[in-house]
Structure 1
Amino acid sequence: MKKIGFLSFGHWTPHPESGTRSGGDMLHQAIDLSQAVEDVGGDGAYFRVHHFARQMGSPFPLLAAIGAKTSRIEIGTGVIDMRYENPMYMVEDAGSADLISDGRLQLGISRGSPEQVVDGWKYFGYSSADDDPTGAEMARRKTELLLQLLEGQGFAEPNPRPMFPNPPGLLRLEPHAEGLRERIWWGAGSNATAKWAAQQGMNLMSSTLKDDEDGQAFHVQQAEQIRLFREEWAQHEWDFEPRVSVSRSIVAITDERDRRYFVGGGEHEDQIGYIDQHTRAIFGRSYADVPERLVEDLRRDEAIAEADTLLITIPSQLGVDYNTHLIESILTEVAPALGWR
């Protein structure tokens, strides 16, 4: 059994052929799509965060709204760039969204990827050390603080003359969401960062790209990354079982709309590129085919086999109805044949 959800980048553009022409369209459609995917049996609604772009920016208002409109589906991020975040404020926002959803928040965080502007976190008031030009260490320090705060232990000295009565002892951030600490995921782009996630007691979130570390096919490298994560996890005494998600672009071609949009398109082989002009990365292929051939292709994907959660990246500008159809086709035409349902 696998949990199957969608991952949206929240693209929108004022182009007349776009089904999502404004930020408002994007947000309302994200809520509607989450409700629709829950109705057809999907398991998760996840959103990528990119600043300075016509995409999802601040995720917590949207996550809270989805949590209030749904009852079962997991809601999450994949991922939030920690270089831009204030961990204190983030704990309060995340706690509120989690409580509104009755404990369904799955919070994916990471150092992030190359962004729309140079050193964008500096515009948010943050700076990195001279020996940390990409902000990677800054992101890790913020993550460690976030995890500590989510434990819910008091740390702040109370005012002896407070406006409102305080409980005894040091104070913590409120509202506290019990159990959220175990639902934090790290978006790992390498084997080393996957092992670091295990050391910190975070679940593993692996996307459609990673550092090209041995020249093998993407899915083979990603499966090895997952195994290394689990081996490292076993060396520590965390009191919960970790989860692992992978994301894929998958389309089951079942009707004329699918053929119009996807036959002859997409990348059917892995691609090699560079991140930050110096890190060689491998990008996983996309899948688009009739269900019978799609099942055979996906059966050979070693990383999907290793993961317990599969996030399907969606073309958000094609609208709620089409994306619901896309997810439902995978749930009904593909997942049962692979033993995922």
Structure 2
Amino acid sequence: MKKIGFLSFGHWTPSPQSATRSAADVLSQSIDLAVAAEELGADGAYFRVHHFARQLSSPFPLLAAIGARTSRIEIGTGVIDMRYENPLYMVEDAGSADLISGGRLQLGISRGSPEQVIEGWRYFGYQPGEGEDDAAMARRHTEVFLDQLEGKGFAEPNPRPMFPNPPGLLRLEPHSEGLRKRIWWGSATNATAEWAAKLGMNLQSSTLKFDETGEPLHRQQADQIRAYRAAWKEAGHDWTPRVSVSRSIFALTTDMDRAYFGRGGNEQDSIGYIDEKTRAVFGRSYAAEPDRLIEQLKGDEAIAEADTLLLTVPNQLGVAYNAHVIEAILKHVAPGLGWR
């Protein structure tokens, strides 16, 4: 059995060919797609976060709105760039969204990805400390965030407060019990996966990874997952973590599917550079008739290792079509792989 959710990048453009021509379209359709996915039996609704782009950015209002409209589906991110975040304010936002959803938040965070602007986190008021780079700053923000999610008091109360205080040092409110175990780290390397394990975070591995061995993406990710689990065991945590991988998978069941995705062209991994020196491997897309798709997916070692699969969806094609994409996987592919 695997949990199966969708991952939306939340693109919008004023083009007449797009079903999401404004930020308002993306936000409202994201809520509607989460509702539809829950009705279809999907397990998760996840959203990417990018700043300075025509995509989804501030996640917590959206997550809270979805939490209020749904009752079962997991709600998450993949991922929030911690270079941009005030970790204490984020604890309050995350706690609120989690409580609204009844404890269904699955929050993916990371060091972030290449940006639309140069050092965009500086515009948000953050800069690396002495001896840090931006990645180290993101990890520092993360450690503060994780520590405060524990819900321990740390702030000296005012002796003359506006409202009565409970005894002792004060914590951030609202506190959502259990959220600390539902934080995920989006990792592009084996080393950061092991770091995430030591800190007690779940693991998200995306459709790209730093190219550390020259092997296909799915094999490098499978090795990454195994390294993560070994580090988790060594750390001695007393609970079982979760691992997700993201994939672009399309079951061709209609003429529209074949028109959109049946022409091929992305059946192999590709190599690129995400900055001037970092070589990365970008995963292939899967698009085929259901029977053939099942056979292809059986060979993906990372999917086999993971307990959660996030399907990247073409959100600009609208809610109805994306619901169809999700349903086709749940109905025609997942049972053949033993996922349902």
Q: Same fold (TM over 0.5)?
A: yes
Letter of the 2:3 partner, please give it: K
Deviation of the 1:237 alpha carbon: 2.3
User: Residues 110-125 of structure 1 correspond to what in structure 2 (within 5 A)?
Assistant: 110-125=110-125
Q: Which moved more, 1:321-330 or 1:277-286?
A: 277-286
Structure 2 counterpart of 1:60: 60
1:34 aligns with 2:46: no
- Find out whether 1:7 has 2:7 as its counterpart: yes
Task: State the Cα deviation string for residues 217-260 of structure 1 (Å, max 9, x = none).
Answer: 11011000000000000011222110000000000000011011
Q: Is the 8 A contact 1:9 1:55 kept in 2?
A: yes
CA distance in 2, matches of 1:78, 1:122: 22
Question: Are 1:33 and 1:323, in contact at CA under 8 Å, matched by a contact in 2?
Answer: yes
What is residue 223 of structure 1 aligned with on the other side?
222
* 1:163 Cα offset (Å): 0.5
Where 2:234 maps in the other structure, the secondary structure is coil
Q: CA deviation at 1:131?
A: 4.3
Distance 2:220 2:124 in 1: 35
Structure 1 distance, partners of 2:10, 2:202, is 24
Question: SS at 1:234's partner residue?
Answer: helix
For residue 235 of structure 1, give the secondary structure of its aligned residue in structure 2.
Answer: helix
Shift of 1:273: 0.7
Moved more, 313-322 or 260-269: 260-269
Q: RMSD between aligned alpha carbons?
A: 0.8
Which structure 2 residues correspond to residues 259-270 of structure 1 after superposition, within 5 A? Answer: 259-270=258-269
Aligned 1:285-324 pairs, distance under 5 A: 285-324=284-323
**Are 2:337 and 1:338 equivalent residues in the alignment?**
yes
* Equivalent residue number for residue 253 of structure 1: 252
Any gaps of 5 or more consecutive residues in structure 1? none
1:198-226 superposed Cα distances (whole Å, 9 cap, x missing partner): 01100000001111111111101100000
The whole-number CA distance in structure 2 between the counterparts of 1:25 and 1:266 is 30
Contact 1:266 1:288 in 2 (8 A): no
**1:128 alignment partner in structure 2:** 128
Match of 1:156 in 2: 155
DSSP-derived class of the 1:226 partner? helix
The residue aligned with 2:89 is 89
Q: How far apart are 1:91 and its partner, in Å?
A: 0.3
Q: Distance in 2 between matches of 1:129 and 1:141?
A: 10
Is the partner of 1:249 in helix, strand or coil? strand
Question: Which residue does 1:272 correspond to in 2?
Answer: 271
Q: What residue is the counterpart of 1:281 in the other structure? A: 280
CA distance in 1, matches of 2:235, 2:213: 27
SS at match of 1:335: helix
State the secondary structure of the residue aligned to 1:247: strand
2:140 counterpart SS class: helix
Which residue matches 2:72? 72
SS of structure 2 residue aligned to 1:281? strand
- The number of residues matched between the two structures is 340
User: Aligned residue for 1:214?
Assistant: 213
Which residues of 2 match residues 172-183 of structure 1 at below 5 A?
A: 172-183=171-182
Partner of 2:324: 325
* Separation (CA, whole Å) in 1 of partners of 2:110 and 2:178: 20
Partner AA of 1:159 in structure 2: N
- How many percent of aligned residue pairs carry the same amino acid? 72
Could you tell me which amino acid in structure 1 is paired with residue 167 of structure 2?
A: P
Quote the offset at 1:129 in angstroms: 3.9
Whole-angstrom CA distance in 1 between matches of 2:283 and 2:241: 24
Deviations along 1:257-314, whole A, 9 cap, x unmatched?
1011111145100101112110111111110000011000000000000000000000
2:197 matches 1:194: no
Per-residue CA deviations over 1:152-179 (Å, capped at 9, x if unaligned) read 0000000001000100000000000000
Supply the distance in 2 between the matched residues of 1:96 and 1:131 (Cα, whole angstroms). 34
Which amino acid counterpart does residue 308 of structure 1 have in structure 2? D
Counterpart residue type for residue 55 of structure 1: Q
> Which has the larger displacement, 120-129 or 96-105?
120-129
Question: What's the offset of the Cα at 1:77?
Answer: 0.2
Query: Can you list the C-alpha shifts for 1:78-120, whole angstroms capped at 9, x where unaligned?
Result: 0000000000100000000000000000000000000100000
Secondary structure of 1:288 counterpart: strand
**Which whole-Å CA distance do the structure 1 matches of 2:320 and 2:265 have between them?**
21
Q: Which residue number corresponds to residue 16 of structure 1?
A: 16
TM-superposed CA distance for 1:132, in Å, is: 3.6
Alpha-carbon distance between aligned partners in 2 of 1:142 and 1:240, rounded to the nearest angstrom: 24
2: CA distance, partners of 1:20 / 1:248: 22
SS in 1 for 2:244: strand
Q: What is the letter of the counterpart of residue 287 of structure 2?
A: A
Structure 1 residue 319: deviation in Å?
0.2
**Rounded Cα–Cα distance in structure 2 between residues aligned with 1:188 and 1:180:** 20
SS state at 1:170 partner: coil
